[in-house]
Amino acid sequence: MARLDFYITMRSPYSYLAADRVVALAERAGVELHLRPVYPIALRDPGFFEKGDPAKLAYLRRDAERVAAMERIPFGWPDPDPVLQDLDTGRVADDQPHIRHLSHLVAAACLTGRGVVVYLALARLLFAGGPSWAEPDRLDTALASCGSDPAQFRSQTAALAPDREALLQTNADALRAAGHWGTPSLGYRGEVFFGQDRIDMCAWFMGLRSVRPSPDG
């Protein structure tokens, strides 16, 4: 079966905003959806935002809000931000417990064959506009909502410590080799499509029409 690679990070609002459409695309195309989590660019390249225009972060935040409104997707910014970062300067803290924990959970899910469903549950927890994802039991509730036993899942995650870190690095290397660095990116038959606004282009490349519903349903 052909495979559609879906590169995501647990900090990327665009990964969340793309997710349901990517799942629908894979189903329509009859291909295997291969979730490939990586660390956010803020960790892979800590100076990325400091080197860029100071307006970049503010623009990206507003743009994500507009995309959510246009696509009618529930949206709110995660509280706390999974990446500890000064949004005015772009400077990233050295210690990053939140994003490492979230990334490890999804990496472990991928290693146990449940990557997509666990990612969808956690992404909705982070970005769908609910209470703080860091409140007691919120992560466990999200894991349970997708059919995972939270205690068992955490035990598996701990047991997979070396493998989950290796998977994140392997995926980052594969994304670079495919020709990009950002998320969300889709990889299919040697082509890479970066951004939630390139899903329709990927569908076209796969020989499909748009993944958007027609105006008359």
- 216 assigned to some structural domain: no
Task: With beta carbons less than 8 A apart as the criterion, state whether 201 and 193 touch.
Answer: yes
Domain at 73, CATH number: 3.40.30.10
Q: Which of 12, 15, 103, 148 is catalytic?
A: 12
- 210 assigned to some structural domain: no
pLDDT mean over 152-174 = 95
Predicted confidence band of residue 217 (pLDDT cuts 50, 70, 90): very low
Both tokens of 197, joined, read 């606004």
- 152 assigned to some structural domain: yes
Could you read off the pLDDT of 119-159 as tens digits, one per residue?
999 999 999 998 999 998 999 999 999 999 999 999 999 99
Counted domains in the chain: 1
Range of the domain at 143: 3-205
Question: CB-based contacts of 211: which residues, under 8 Å, 6+ apart?
Answer: 21, 24, 25, 28, 199, 200, 203
- 67 assigned to some structural domain: yes
- 117 assigned to some structural domain: yes
- 211 assigned to some structural domain: no
Global pTM?
0.93
Q: Measured in whole angstroms, how far is the alpha carbon of residue 86 from the centre of its chain?
A: 21
Q: Treating both helix axes as pointing N-terminal to C-terminal, what angle do 56-71 and 13-29 enclose, rounded to 10 degrees? A: 40
Residue 148 a catalytic site member: no
- 217 assigned to some structural domain: no
- 30 assigned to some structural domain: yes
Please tell me the predicted confidence (pLDDT) of residue 213. 54
